[in-house]
Structure 1
Amino acid sequence: MQQWGRPVGDANGVYTDGNVSVPIIMVDTDEGITGVGLGPHVELDTIFAAIEGEDPRGVTALYDRMLRRTFKAGHAGAVFGTIGALDTALWDIKAQAAGEPLWRLLGGRDRRVPAYASGLDIGVSDEELVSLYEVYAGHGLRAAKLKGGLDIERDLHRLTLVREVLTETAHGSRPSMMLDVNEAWTRKQAVRHVCEIERTLDLTWIEEPVRRWDAEGLATVGRGIRASVASGENLTGLEQFRPLLAAGALDIVQTAAVWGVTHFLRVSALAHAHDLPVSPIGTTPVGLLHAATSVPNHLASELQDLRPPLGVSLDLHVEDGAFVLGHRPGLGVTIDEAAITAFTATGRADGVPANGPHIRPEHAGRRLLAVAHHGAAQQHRPAP
Structure 2
Amino acid sequence: MKITDIDVIELKADSGRALDLDPTYHCCLVRVMTDSGLSGIAEVDSVPSVIRAIVEAPAKTSTLMGLKALLVGEDPGDIRRLWDRMYQHTSYYGRRGVVLHAISAIDMALWDLKGKAEGQPIAELLGQRRHDALPAYVTVYPLGRDPDELRRALDRTRAYPARAIKLAIDGFWREERALAQRLLLTAREHLGDDMPIMLDATATFHDAADIQWLLPVLKDCRIDWLEAPFSLDNLAAFEALKNAGIPVAVGDTGLTASAEWEPYFAAGAIDIAQPDIGWVGGFTGMNDIATLCDHHGTRLVPHGWNTDITLSANLHFLAARATPEYAEFSTSDSPLRWALVKEPRSLEPDGTLRVPEGPGLGIDLDDDTLTRYRVA
Task: Provide the C-alpha distance between the structure 1 equivalents of 2:14 and 2:221, rounded to a whole number of angstroms.
Answer: 29
CA displacement at 1:35 relative to structure 2: 0.7
CA displacement at 1:326 relative to structure 2: 2.5
The structure 1 residue matched to 2:256, chosen from 236, 239, 253, is 236
Q: Which residue of 2 aligns with 1:120?
A: 141
Structure 2: gaps spanning 5 or more residues: 1-10, 57-65
Q: Which residue of 1 aligns with 2:365?
A: 335
Q: Which residue of 2 aligns with 1:263?
A: 285
The structure 2 residue matched to 1:203, chosen from 207, 223, 239, is 223
CA displacement at 1:222 relative to structure 2: 2.7
TM-score relative to the length of structure 1 = 0.78
Runs of 4+ in 1 over 6 A off after TM superposition: 2-7, 16-19
Q: Which residue of 1 aligns with 2:8?
A: none
Task: Verify the 8 A CA contact 2:255 2:261 in the aligned structure 1.
Answer: yes
Task: Verify the 8 A CA contact 2:204 2:230 in the aligned structure 1.
Answer: yes
Q: Which residue of 2 aligns with 1:100?
A: 120
Report 1:70-219 matches (<5 A): 70-106=90-126, 107-122=128-143, 129-148=150-169, 149-151=171-173, 152-167=177-192, 174-198=194-218, 200-219=220-239
Does residue 1:31 correspond to 2:36, yes or no? yes
Task: Provide the C-alpha distance between the structure 1 equivalents of 2:14 and 2:196, rounded to a whole number of angstroms.
Answer: 24
Task: Provide the C-alpha distance between the structure 2 equivalents of 1:269 and 1:338, rounded to a whole number of angstroms.
Answer: 40
Q: Which residue of 1 aligns with 2:246?
A: 227
Compared CA separation, residues 128 and 310, structure 1 to 2 (3 A):
farther
Task: Verify the 8 A CA contact 1:187 1:221 in the aligned structure 2.
Answer: no
Q: Secondary structure at the match of 1:74?
A: coil
Q: Which residue of 2 aligns with 1:354?
A: none
Task: Provide the C-alpha distance between the structure 2 equivalents of 1:325 and 1:338, rounded to a whole number of angstroms.
Answer: 25
Per-residue CA distance 1:173-204 (angstroms, 9 max, x = gap): 72221111221212234532432423631111
Please report the RMSD computed on the Cα atoms of aligned residues, expressed in angstroms. Answer: 2.9
Letter in 2 for 1:328: G
Task: Provide the C-alpha distance between the structure 1 equivalents of 2:97 and 2:235, rounded to a whole number of angstroms.
Answer: 19
Structure 1: gaps spanning 5 or more residues: 8-12, 168-172, 351-384
Percent identical across equivalent pairs?
26
Does residue 1:295 correspond to 2:325, yes or no? no
The structure 2 residue matched to 1:316, chosen from 345, 365, 372, is 345
Compared CA separation, residues 297 and 153, structure 1 to 2 (3 A):
farther
Q: Secondary structure at the match of 2:211?
A: helix
CA displacement at 1:130 relative to structure 2: 3.6
Compared CA separation, residues 133 and 314, structure 1 to 2 (3 A):
farther
Task: Provide the C-alpha distance between the structure 2 equivalents of 1:336 and 1:315, rounded to a whole number of angstroms.
Answer: 10
CA displacement at 1:97 relative to structure 2: 1.0
More helix by share: 2
Task: Verify the 8 A CA contact 1:26 1:35 in the aligned structure 2.
Answer: yes
Q: Secondary structure at the match of 1:88?
A: helix
Task: Provide the C-alpha distance between the structure 1 equivalents of 2:332 and 2:190, rounded to a whole number of angstroms.
Answer: 18
In terms of mean alpha carbon deviation, does 251-260 or 190-199 score higher?
190-199
Task: Verify the 8 A CA contact 1:230 1:253 in the aligned structure 2.
Answer: yes
Letter in 2 for 1:185: F
Number of equivalenced pairs = 335
Task: Verify the 8 A CA contact 1:312 1:335 in the aligned structure 2.
Answer: yes
Q: Secondary structure at the match of 1:204?
A: strand
Q: Which residue of 1 aligns with 2:26?
A: 21
Per-residue CA distance 1:28-68 (angstroms, 9 max, x = gap): 11111111100144211211222222221111221111111
Task: Verify the 8 A CA contact 2:146 2:183 in the aligned structure 1.
Answer: no
Per-residue CA distance 1:246-280 (angstroms, 9 max, x = gap): 11111111101322211111101111110111010
Task: Verify the 8 A CA contact 1:315 1:326 in the aligned structure 2.
Answer: no
